[in-house]
Amino acid sequence: MARILLGVSGGIAAYKALELVRLATAAGHAVRVVQTPASQRFVGAASFAALTGAPVLTGEFEPDPARGAFPGDPAPDHDPLSHLELVRNADILVVAPATANTVAKLAAGLADNLLTSAALAATGPVLVAPAMNHHMWEHPATQANVATLRARGVVVLEPGSGRLASHGEEGAGRLPEPAALLHAIEALTRPVAPAPRPDLVGLRVLVTAGGTREPIDAVRFVGNRSSGRMGFALASEAAALGAAVTVVAANVALPRDARVTYVDVETAAELQAACAAAFAGSDVLLMAAAVADFRPARSFAGKLKKASEERMRVELERTPDILSGLAAARRPGQTVVGFAAEHGEGALDYGREKLARKGLDAVVVNDIARGDIGFDATDNEVTIITAAGETHIARAAKTQIARAVLDAVVDLRAGSGAAEPA
């Protein structure tokens, strides 16, 4: 799945961009559309909005109701500058159709509308699909602009030949067919499959992910904001590198990876039971789930009624510390990693304290005081604490953070071997 930012400029071929969006979304890609004002003379924003399921942007100062998020991703809680945020979140910027005027602006580095500003802010792959009258395409100015873009690493597709929109005109200038455009987009965004890591191949990795929900009654619960993204990223990354991965997933509504086995749970008690069943057969435990520390002491079978009460008291009791229990019961050779969501100053001290108190090989600490990383965000920034020291991993996509955690696991297992049971 790729996040495609599609810039549509004003040519008759803009109607083909609708078909491109339809094909791309049907293939599972998330698409956001930025239109130039001129393109709206050919195709209206409502059509793109309906096909993408997301707002369409035209003006640089127009707020983005989705705050730069792509369909399927959570919107941030702050209002970003739309063109920068959309481009930052995109895997690719595609300009289709690109008119002669837009090609010229891109070559000159102009930023006079949202599309050209986005192009200037793009740091990832940029694909340009020109469509114009054949005289305009063949003009030395256009050809020089295309050469400039290509020299900068922009992929500029050759337009197709044939009948053009202007009556009786034929030649090169047609927008490539939408299926061919999608093929080019997928070729540029396809993740390079990581080579299996010999030290992870066949390793049995147990991951917990998500957040537990502790019932108050049949419809209400005490829960937390964990989305499961970090745990799922760890699982997919470990599977991609060759490990045999089981995830105990507590209330995670994210896409599943066909290479991973999932066990779904809701409560801390269920998570504990699922871990108890799977832990003995695992070499590594990555305890990324946010387990409720407290749960309602009693849960009602039906739905509690308000009646005439002004207040309601829910008594909470401690849940068992699942991670400590597993770490204490481990056999030699098992590696146990905890995760600690800490708030602000002192985060690392708390992390070090948890490493010792829970008898772990590593603790992955992230600072939840920051709104741009952590819960439900696609990025994270962590410090991995082991007995040997600390490794800070600067802000990166959770898949890259996952890779760093797995590197630490490999180092731990290669070094002193896993710590002995406490």
- Binding-site ranges for ligand CTP (CB under 6 A): 268, 287, 289, 291, 293, 319, 321-323, 338-341, 354
Phi-psi map region of 21: left, alpha, beta (phi>0 left; psi -120 to 50 alpha): alpha
- Residue 85: phi and psi, rounded to 5, are -70, -45
248 sits in which H/E element: strand 244-250
The catalytic residue among 224, 251, 366, 380 is 224
Provide the residue type at 235 as one letter.
Answer: A
Closest distance of CB 271 from ligand CTP, Å: 8
Q: In 10 A of CB 136, how many CB atoms?
A: 16
175's tokens: 């927008």
Q: How is 101-156 classified by DSSP, letter by letter?
A: HHHHHHHHT---SHHHHHHHH--S-EEEEE---HHHHHSHHHHHHHHHHHHTT-EE
Our CB check for ligand CTP shows the closer of 10 and 338 to be: 338
Our CB check for ligand CTP shows the closer of 1 and 329 to be: 329
How far is the C-alpha of 365 from the C-alpha of 342, rounded, in Å? 7
Closest distance of CB 205 from ligand CTP, Å: 15
Our CB check for ligand CTP shows the closer of 303 and 357 to be: 357
Closest distance of CB 77 from ligand CTP, Å: 22
**Rounded alpha-carbon distances, angstroms, from residue 333 to 132, 203, 239, 319:** 65, 11, 20, 27
Q: Which residues of 152-183 are buried (b: 16+ CB within 10 A; e: fewer)?
A: eebbbbebeeeebeeeeeeebbbbbebeebbe
- Judge whether 35 and 44 are in contact, CB under 8 Å: no
Q: Is 224 a catalytic residue?
A: yes
209 pairs with which residues across the strands?
249
Residue nearest to ligand CTP (CB): 323
- For residue 211, give every residue at least 6 positions away whose Cβ sits within 8 Å of its Cβ, in sequence order, or none: 223, 224, 225, 226, 227, 228, 250, 251, 289, 290, 291, 292
Our CB check for ligand CTP shows the closer of 73 and 293 to be: 293
Closest distance of CB 401 from ligand CTP, Å: 15
Closest distance of CB 365 from ligand CTP, Å: 9
Our CB check for ligand CTP shows the closer of 106 and 216 to be: 216
Closest distance of CB 288 from ligand CTP, Å: 7
Our CB check for ligand CTP shows the closer of 235 and 341 to be: 341
How far is the C-alpha of 162 from the C-alpha of 173, rounded, in Å? 8
Our CB check for ligand CTP shows the closer of 91 and 342 to be: 342
Q: How is 159-212 classified by DSSP, letter by letter?
A: PEEEE-SSTT-EEEEEPPPHHHHHHHHHHHHPPPPPPPPTTTTT-EEEEEEEB-
Closest distance of CB 327 from ligand CTP, Å: 9
Active site residues: 224
